[in-house]
Copies of this chain bind each other. A is one copy, B any other.
Amino acid sequence: LINRSIRYHKNFVKMSSVDSKTSSSSETLKLYNSLSRKKEEFVPMNGRSVTWYSCGPTVYDASHMGHARSYMAFDIIRRVMSDYFGYDIFYVMNVTDIDDKIINRARQNHLFEEYKSKDHSLDDVIRDCDQAIEIYKEKLAQETDKDKASLLSSTIKTAVAAVEKARDGSNTSLPDLIDAVRDPLSKLLDRKYGATVTDHHIFAALTQKWEEEYHNDMTALNVLPPNVLTRVTDYVPEIVVFVEKIISNGYAYESNGSVYFNTVKFSTSPDHRYAKLVPENVGDLAALQEGEGELSVSADKLQEKKHKNDFALWKASKPGEPAWPSPWGPGRPGWHIECSVMACDILGSTADIHTGGVDLKFPHHDNEIAQVEAYYETDNWINYFLHAGHLSIEGCKMSKSLKNFITIKEALQTNTSSQLRLAFLTHQWSATMDYSVNAMQEAVQTEKALKEFFLVVKDMVWRCPEGRKGFFKWTDSEKELNGKFLKIKSSIHTALCDSIDTPTTLRLLKELLTLSNTYIDAKRDDANARLLADIAHYMTYLLKIFGVIPHDTGIGFSMKKEAEGIEDVVMPYAIALADFREKVREVALETKAKPVLQLCDWVRDEVMFDLGVKLEDKKERTVVKLVGKEALIEEREAEKRAMEIKRKAKEEQKKKMEEAQRKLEAQARIEPRDMFKDQMDKYSKFDDQGVPTHDENGEPLSEKKIKKLYKQWEAQEKKYNSSKK
């Protein structure tokens, strides 16, 4: 209410930070649908509610980064659809705990451990090994896959070398030999004794162990658990009923205790189309047999089928294979049928979304579709099929033969789950992603820049007064930054609508970061903390949606209001200390009170460091950053390493200088008359003072050359004389 002169501020209206109508108001989410092979508008069947079935792990081994690629991609899509687009997602995932791979692995592990624990003579073991290697050699001869062949041949090589050594009488221990021939031996033992393995706990122990590991990996990656998890072992009765119905609908037949899906009947039916996802792969027998499983593609098994493209719904179990009763005798479900049955049990006859890795498209997902259509006699089960792209390692396919197989646990030893997520986010979920040192370095840099910005803004927010005094009139700088902020938000919306384009979103987030940092640098202490907090909150909101920053996942009312985070408790004390220290330091600088300054350094570098607080002395004031002690230690280590490199470089330089100096000094101690004497390859005769007169061939030197040599001689004389002082 104070009289002020009027700044005639003619064009203020133009400077509003809000532009009207820059983007379409009807932007909605589109998703890349494998069924149509294009981006389609996403319209769930039932309002905001979305039903989703996702193919989960087959639990017989550790999950690797290829698995991480899929689970992370779907976790990000799920979070964006739920927390950004507001869908109520009901997410069902299965665990495959009946499978030929599981049977083989469990049986072989068991027989191998049993073999190892028994007493054998060296001769017996060598004989077994030879036999086992023979089997592997046969396998190799039949193998058409290059990768698998390469792995087999390296296994054979190792095994043969170990057996040779043992035969030579080199002092190899028996357990070492057995371990070196582990895979071939296991195979041999399985052939011999596999049928004797009847204790079902042997299979259950394996699947339970690896399912537990799977959950641990997902928790470590911050992947949300499904709303419902279904296990095949819990669903055998339902599967039997489902298969019976498919038979009675005429799309499957029993043969020798197994049941097969009749692909010819199905694909010739006017209501159905077989292999909706990848019709071009029909007839790819290698893919089909991979899907049927190792134990289910023997010649006699293949003969049971009416047509070569038919696949098993129910497999008769041989001795040594777990079995459940059924109208067709004891057996177990085929691989594809489980997903059809469990999805329908929980979600009903249709679902909005089905997801899986790109390698599951054919035959797994195509057969799932056929089964459900055959069961319900419909032609519409899933509306959107989403497939996560492959993962490559430094540009190469991940494979055991290339020895670039990386488990999730191994990856998490190098990078945090936040860093992995930031790297995954820079790739479109449906595209191939390359996991490389470079990609991870970029993610680490992005994380660092974000953290730094958040720390700076938090410091500002804590220093911004509460209530009335915290609100200031906006100047053009705030209007400009806010205008750009709104535009970036709008562009990010467009990107996320575009089949959840996270690479573009992340690029825009980095742009917003740069704009904000530029604003802070320009305005310094006049920067508007509220606007920056709005920007930081928006960025935090997106990073939480992406799972990079953990969510508040509490239920209901919390115990106390203060429980909002350790920062609320700690920050006031840290700021009080920082302000006090700053005042003390100012006085100390003025009065040149060195011990006080040392104390100021000490409290910053020791006391606050131990509390995880970083104090940065800037020109305007001290910035307080709650970083955490571990991060500070890491930072200090990095600094130390950098210092060490510098120190070493300096030392090297010093050594070089000293060396040069020493050389010079040694040079100076040479008498002028001797200085050319060791150059017999150049000169053959010298005068009294030791200056050359003839070259190496006995030819006299030119006047000019002699003059030049005299000058050198005189210079050396000077050095020699002064070195003697």
Among listed A124-132, A134-142, A164-172, A546-554, interface-contacting one: A546-554
Interface string of A99-143 (1 = CB under 8 A from B): 000000000000000000000000000000000000000000000
**C-beta contact mask, A196-227 vs B, less than 8 Å → 1, else 0?**
00001001100110011001100100000101
**A530 at the A/B interface (Cβ < 8 Å)?**
yes
Whole-angstrom distance between the alpha carbons of A240 and B207 in the complex? 78
A351 (CB) vs chain B CBs: closest residue = B18
* CB-nearest residue of chain B to A491: B47
A22 an interface residue at 8 Å Cβ cutoff? yes
- A48 & B493 in contact (Cβ 8 Å cutoff): yes
Q: Are the C-beta atoms of A458 and B555 separated by less than 8 Å? A: yes
Contacts A22-B46, A25-B47, A227-B530 given; does A17 touch B212 at CB 8 Å = no
Binds B, one of A65-73, A154-162, A556-564, A640-648: A556-564
Among A325, A454, A474, residue most surrounded by chain B Cβ atoms (within 10 Å):
A474
A49-B489, A90-B486 given; A348·B13 CB < 8 A = yes
Q: Which residues of B contact A494 (CB under 8 A)?
A: 47
> Which B residues touch A595, using CB under 8 A?
none
Question: A24 in the interface, Cβ–Cβ < 8 Å?
Answer: yes
Please provide the chain A residues from 15 to 62 with a CB less than 8 Å away from any CB of chain B in the complex: 15-25, 27, 43-49, 51
Query: Quick check: B345 and A12 within 8 Å, CB to CB?
Result: yes
CB neighbours of A326 from chain B (8 A): 6
What distance in Å separates the Cβ of A26 from its nearest Cβ neighbour in chain B?
8
A:375-429 near B, CB below 8 Å? 418
Evaluate whether A455 and B556 lie within 8 angstroms (CB atoms) in the complex, with A1-B200, A203-B1, A227-B534 already known.
Answer: yes
Is B555 within 8 A of A563, CB to CB?
no
Over the window 511-535 of chain A, the binary record of Cβ atoms lying under 8 Å from chain B Cβ atoms (1 yes, 0 no) is 0000000000000000000110110
Q: What is the distance, in angstroms, from A30's C-beta to the closest C-beta of chain B?
A: 15
A4 to B84, CA, bound (A): 45
Copies in the complex: 2
**A322 contacts the other chain (CB 8 A):** yes
Check if B3 sits within 8 Å of A27, measured CB to CB: no
Contact A25 B8 (CB under 8 A): no
Of the candidates B13, B203, B323, B473, the one whose C-beta lies within 8 Å of that of A344 is B13
Binds B, one of A230-238, A360-368, A584-592, A676-684: A230-238
Tell me, in angstroms, the Cα distance from A13 to B375 when the chains sit together: 11
Q: Which residue of B lies closest to A226 (CB)?
A: B471
Decide yes or no: A215 and B559 within 8 Å by CB, A9-B238, A554-B564 being known contacts: no
Q: Is the CB of A86 within 8 A of B88?
A: no
A567 at the binding interface (Cβ < 8 Å): yes
Chain B contacts of A461 at CB under 8 A? Answer: 555
Does any Cβ of B come within 8 Å of A10's Cβ? Answer: yes
Write 29 A-B pairs (CB below 8 A) sorted by A numbering: A1-B233, A2-B200, A3-B325, A4-B236, A8-B241, A13-B348, A16-B345, A16-B349, A18-B51, A18-B90, A18-B351, A19-B46, A19-B348, A20-B45, A25-B44, A88-B490, A208-B468, A212-B468, A234-B473, A450-B557, A458-B556, A461-B555, A537-B555, A540-B556, A543-B556, A550-B561, A552-B565, A559-B570, A562-B566
- If A88-B489, A450-B556 are given as contacts, then 15 extra A-B residue pairs at C-beta distance below 8 Å, sorted by A number, are A1-B322, A3-B330, A4-B237, A13-B345, A16-B344, A18-B49, A20-B348, A27-B47, A46-B490, A225-B530, A346-B474, A536-B556, A540-B556, A554-B565, A563-B565
3 closest residue pairs by CB, A with B: A454-B556, A552-B552, A16-B348
